[in-house]
Structure 1
Amino acid sequence: MLNNDIFSHIILGIISFFSNFISALSGGGAGLIQLPALLFLGLPFSKALATHKVASVALGLGASIPHLKRRSLKINYAFLILISGIPGVLLGAYTSSILPSSFSTTLLGLLTLFLSFYSIKQKNLGSSNQKLSINKLRILIGSFGLFIIGFLNGYLSSGTGLFVTIWMIILFDLSFSVAVAYTLIFVGIFWNGIGAFSLGMTGNIIWDYIPVLILGSLLGGYLGAKFSIIKGTKFIKVVFELVSFSVGISLLVKGFL
């Protein structure tokens, strides 16, 4: 049953701050904690997902401030993420309304676990930041991969930020720190913003919870991004591996239930 008392708002604010702080470190995974918390408070899944999506945009806004101050982002990578991923997000959102998602959730869980194990095995993954030049082949491969990840973002709405982070690292040899910045800003604000808008059109957003969720997301995203910059790539890599493992297990459980 939905509970609107002050205590539930305080607890939700703390959960929002913690989940988004961790997400700002790893480049994804806020939904692992925040979404179940909304479900625990009695929201149906559709309403919990829509409300979480709105708050996830605030994560991107909060985390963008420390990263933009560093001036380490390039417009060509940003444009590639937006122009390739947004059509996938829109198609995925449409598909989610007509197709069941249990199989895809299970598959995404397995792939997310693979991300964790792959990162653990590749000791030097994300340790450089060479900013390789974008040739036609990289544009083609990068666009296709981002379109697929965008589709999963619109279709399943959780866990896909981690894939964008690792994709940018593998394809363009970015550091974890820089790749996470691209994910938080361009996936967090734009991809999730589109998802929030499309879900909001159905009237599923619980606006009573939005202020505390946004406050927790902004503060958690901002402080998490600042902390990640201070600690550096090696620390972010470890957090990424822990979060991707946890998200993978969570998605598998969700897929089998």
Structure 2
Amino acid sequence: MVTEFLIVCPLVFLAGFVDAIGGGGGLISLPAYLMAGIPAHFAVGTNKLSSAMGTTVATLEFARSGYIRLKLAFFSVLAAIVGSSFGANMALHISEYYFRLILLIVLPLTALYLLLNKHALNSKLADSAKLTVSQFVATLFISVSLGAWDGFYGPGTGTFLILTLVGIAHLPINLAAGNTKVINLTTNVTALAVFLLNDKVLILLGLTAGIFSIVGNFLGASYYKKFGSAIARPIIIVVLLIFFAKTIWQFVS
């Protein structure tokens, strides 16, 4: 019990720090729960709790900075709720063995894409612009699609959102970053509700880790304003290497 807290809480703090800087925090926080020996469904569900707490802080910071437009955010939230609830319910219908196997396959592939993509985890803010109908429609499609991904899995969603909102919806990066936080918060809360209803959340661990996530997100947002996002990549790489080393050891031993 104590070991779970000692493993999870520091890594969730790092995850919050990284996520506030450039997304990708789930690539640290979910492996943290799995490394602590938490069953896969509980790991995902509890991760939603701590992530939601930290993402709330980051979202408020982006709103305070003027990077969120209410009309776009409102419809994005509705679309994200639909996608996330579908994804979370899909995750619950997969057995523990196969769900963990899926995570062990998808996690490195997601990490590899994000770490090799020169634009991922490395965005800078730009001036806002007037939005078109096509930008709204593309944003809603992205919100549903990645909402389902986040409800089912999670890690990488924030960065995928920024990449697609800029690359497909053609949003200015400041609005893409702000809307990403709104969508991410929505999908976390929606998926969390599904996992809570199915009793797949370790409340005490999630709340405790959530406090560390809040502190990490707050410090990460402050760090980003001063120094940018270069530090995010090496932190993610180190944690993933530890996670895979432990996983390989479990298979060998």
Instruction: Pick the aligned partner of 1:230 from 226, 229, 244.
Output: 226
Q: Quote the Cα distance in structure 2 between the aligned partners of 1:61 and 1:250.
A: 28
Q: Quote the Cα distance in structure 2 between the aligned partners of 1:111 and 1:13.
A: 23
Instruction: Pick the aligned partner of 1:196 from 188, 192, 216.
Output: 192
- Normalising by the residue count of structure 2, what TM-score does the alignment of the two structures yield? 0.77
The match for 1:96 is: 91
Deviation at 1:221, TM superposition (A): 1.0
Q: Quote the Cα distance in structure 2 between the aligned partners of 1:240 and 1:10.
A: 22
Judging changes above 3 Å, is the alpha-carbon distance between structure 1 residues 246 and 196 closer, same or farther for their aligned structure 2 residues?
Answer: farther
Q: Quote the Cα distance in structure 1 between the aligned partners of 2:224 and 2:184.
A: 17
Judging changes above 3 Å, is the alpha-carbon distance between structure 1 residues 117 and 248 closer, same or farther for their aligned structure 2 residues?
Answer: farther
Instruction: Pick the aligned partner of 1:158 from 155, 159, 182.
Output: 155
Instruction: Pick the aligned partner of 1:45 from 35, 40, 44.
Output: 40
The match for 1:206 is: 202
Q: Quote the Cα distance in structure 2 between the aligned partners of 1:17 and 1:212.
A: 11
- Normalising by the residue count of structure 1, what TM-score does the alignment of the two structures yield? 0.76
The match for 2:62 is: 67
SS in 1 for 2:183: helix
2:164 is the counterpart of 1:167: yes
**What is the letter of the counterpart of residue 183 of structure 1?**
T
2:162 is the counterpart of 1:149: no
Deviation at 1:20, TM superposition (A): 1.0
Q: Quote the Cα distance in structure 2 between the aligned partners of 1:144 and 1:98.
A: 24
Out of 11-20 and 108-117, give the one that drifted further.
Answer: 108-117
Identity of aligned residues (%): 20
SS in 2 for 1:119: coil
Instruction: Pick the aligned partner of 1:14 from 7, 10, 16.
Output: 10
Which aligned pairs between 1:109-148 and structure 2 lie closer than 5 A? 110=109, 113-120=112-119, 126-127=123-124, 129-148=126-145
Deviation at 1:108, TM superposition (A): 7.5
Q: Quote the Cα distance in structure 2 between the aligned partners of 1:190 and 1:34.
A: 18
Judging changes above 3 Å, is the alpha-carbon distance between structure 1 residues 111 and 221 closer, same or farther for their aligned structure 2 residues?
Answer: closer
Q: Quote the Cα distance in structure 1 between the aligned partners of 2:187 and 2:118.
A: 24
Judging changes above 3 Å, is the alpha-carbon distance between structure 1 residues 207 and 90 closer, same or farther for their aligned structure 2 residues?
Answer: closer
| Cα contact 2:151–2:191 (8 A) shared by 1 | yes
Deviation at 1:103, TM superposition (A): 6.5
| Cα contact 2:127–2:172 (8 A) shared by 1 | yes
Instruction: Pick the aligned partner of 1:183 from 180, 185, 195.
Output: 180
Q: Which blocks of at least 5 consecutive residues in structure 2 are unaligned?
A: none
| Cα contact 1:131–1:174 (8 A) shared by 2 | yes
Q: Quote the Cα distance in structure 1 between the aligned partners of 2:88 and 2:30.
A: 18
Deviation at 1:156, TM superposition (A): 2.0
Q: Deviations over 1:29-81 (max 9, x none)?
A: 2x322222222333211112111110001111222343232223222331242
Instruction: Pick the aligned partner of 2:78 from 71, 80, 83.
Output: 83
Q: Quote the Cα distance in structure 1 between the aligned partners of 2:175 and 2:236.
A: 18
Q: Quote the Cα distance in structure 2 between the aligned partners of 1:251 and 1:40.
A: 6
Q: Quote the Cα distance in structure 1 between the aligned partners of 2:82 and 2:224.
A: 30
Q: Which blocks of at least 5 consecutive residues in structure 1 are unaligned?
A: none
Deviation at 1:150, TM superposition (A): 1.1
SS in 1 for 2:118: helix
SS in 2 for 1:194: helix
Q: Quote the Cα distance in structure 1 between the aligned partners of 2:237 and 2:5.
A: 29
Deviation at 1:218, TM superposition (A): 0.9
Deviation at 1:200, TM superposition (A): 1.0
SS in 2 for 1:22: helix
Judging changes above 3 Å, is the alpha-carbon distance between structure 1 residues 118 and 43 closer, same or farther for their aligned structure 2 residues?
Answer: closer
Deviation at 1:191, TM superposition (A): 1.1
